[in-house]
A = this chain, B = another copy of it.
Amino acid sequence: MSAWLAQHGRALLWALRRLTVAPLSTLLSLLAISVALALPAGGQLLLRNGLQIAKSGAATPELSLFMSVDADRKAVDAIAQRLKHQEALKEFRLVSRGETLARFQARPGFAEVISALPGNPFPDAFVAVPRDDLSAAALEKLRAEFSHWPKVEQVQLDSAWARRLDALLHLGRIGVALLALMLGLGLVAITFTTIRLQVLTQLSEIEVSRLLGATDAFIGRPFYYFGTLQGLAGGAGAWLIVAAVAMAMRAPLEELAGLYEGGATLQSLTAIDVAILLGFATALGWLGTALSLGRHLRD
């Protein structure tokens, strides 16, 4: 037991010494790993914030239900009742004919027109906000359904916005997937290479140890410590980078968020995000070590 502890202690010490013996090289490796991890992590965060901003603001599609001009109070209430039970809607509000009239009267070039009219020519209308997760097709179905309700004269869907949002989301998703794929491969390359480098600097030690009766476990142990420690440190570096970038981006993002009038608050990395990031980095360090040792240790 004490011998077991001594062996692990030795391996850990060796790994720590190797990490500090060539500080520039270590720093550069850590930097490469950090950057490779920071990009998809940061991209994910950006997408999350961007989506929130887009959805909270003008990008949300709306359904406008125009009642017929002769619809009375009761008919309007009935539609309100129906809308209340629609699961697909997040919210809706009544825009009364009076409101619309007032708005048009305030618009330049319309005041005279309106005042020249005998009565209020506008109908009551509802503006309904659908749930975020509805596809363009689902929205279109909703529109068709609403237009068959009694005393509903017309339903308008701001479907250009919906389609635009869909296309943007599609684009973002493809982009993030490609990024993750490329950086996943890049990360594998970096880890693999770093461990190969460590194996190369220790080639004579490995050979001699084997000739003196060292087991594969004994020979591999310091490299596993090295690889996982490096991965962990790289993950921490990625965390720092993402946090720093998020700080730098806060001002312009909030300017954007403010413009969209959604009152969006910027999300940063949660404790769970950080835990996942560090765990992923450590696991990747371990995996890279295992792959590299499998290739470079057996001869």
> Which A residues have a C-beta under 8 Å from some C-beta of B?
24-25, 28-29, 31-32, 35-36, 38-39, 46, 66, 69, 108-110, 112-113, 116-118, 121-123, 153-154, 160, 163-164, 167-168, 170-171, 174-175, 178-179, 182-183, 185-186, 188-190, 192-194, 196-197, 200-201, 241, 245, 248-249, 252-253, 255-256, 259-260, 295
Contact = CB atoms under 8 A, between A and B. Distances in A.
Contact of A249 (B39, B117, B171, B249): B171
Nearest to A156: B108
Given A32-B189, A185-B31, A200-B201, A178 B252 contact: no
Q: How many of these chains are in the complex?
A: 2
A178 B245 contact: yes
Nearest to A185: B31
Contacts of A185: 31, 35
Given A25-B196, A35-B185, A190-B193, 6 more contacts: A29-B193, A66-B109, A160-B259, A167-B256, A174-B249, A200-B200
